[in-house]
Amino acid sequence: MKKFISLFIAKSIGLYINFLSFVFPKKATQYAHALFSEPRKGKLTKDNLPKTLKEAHSETIQHNGDSIQTYTWKGDETIILLIHGWESNSARWKKMLPYLKKSGHTIIAIDGPAQGLSSGKEFTVPKYAEFIHVIVEKFKPKYLIGHSMGGQTCLYYQYKYQSASIRKIVVLGAPSDFKIIFHNFIALLSLNSKISNALEKKYTAILNRNLDQFSGQQFASEIDIKGLVAHDIDDKVVSFKEAKKIVGAWKNVEFIETSGLGHKLHDDSLYKKVFRFLFETE
């Protein structure tokens, strides 16, 4: 019943946007863009921080008018950087943190644009990668771990910035092709060609490339450092096929196929394998 209600709401919103496109096309495009790029979940306030984040050292870094929120669990000089996904925040690492802390290394998590305590209204991969670059330049992490859109952003980040400090990347439940995400959104709302074409033009400018060229598969093909990709065959949010695309393009990658974990991928056995990949193998 909930799925039916959600679908009915989505189609109703799409019908409204389609109607608006014939009267106020710019306003219709802006509204559709907002629905696609503005997270509806994941924001935090300082008064309602989860316990996990309260235990960390909190620091807000200013960059070009943006506030980038970071949380640090102090250890030695080696840095692990955690990158959460869409409509989330740094608290999503709660179950993985105990395993990473066993390494004795310093762990830093950041809130993405428009999520957690970071500033902004819109979430885009290029903007998130810019946030990551600020943190990488400041702290020089050795390891990157990203979940979902955070995983795709890790791939894009290393592809674009080619950080010399990063030695290994872990990608959990990440999508590959932006175009699939985009077309799923268009289909969900049943948006007409007028709106879909306007949105595609807008995102081509934001991503600075054609939509079919913005993919984790492409980014991974130009990354030389070691990687680990984990994806669940029962993931209902991001298709398992997306992981296969990334793995097929990455020259130096390990692949872990899980079952029954869904998109969140919270699992003790998986965390132990991630630990082994990061700290026990070269």
pLDDT at 183 over 60: yes
Containing structural domain, residue 243: 48-176+215-282
Residue 43 domain-assigned (yes or no): no
- pLDDT tens digits, 121-150: 999 999 999 999 999 999 999 999 999 999
Mind giving me the DSSP string for 111-177?
A: PPTTSBT---S---HHHHHHHHHHHHHHH--SEEEEETHHHHHHHHHHHHH--SS--EEEEES---B
Residues 6+ apart with CB under 8 A from 186: 195, 196, 199
Whether residue 165 sits in one domain with residue 78: yes
Mean pLDDT of 23-31: 91
Whether residue 203 sits in one domain with residue 170: no
| pLDDT value at residue 6 | 72
- pLDDT tens digits, 58-94: 999 999 999 999 999 999 999 999 999 999 999 999 9
Return the CATH number at 88.
3.40.50.1820
Whether residue 199 sits in one domain with residue 152: no
104, 167 Cβ separation under 8 angstroms: no
- Provide the pLDDT confidence category of residue 1 given band limits of 50, 70 and 90: low
Among 12-21, 82-91, 194-203, 257-266, which is the least confidently predicted range? 12-21
Residue 188 domain-assigned (yes or no): yes
Whether residue 219 sits in one domain with residue 148: yes
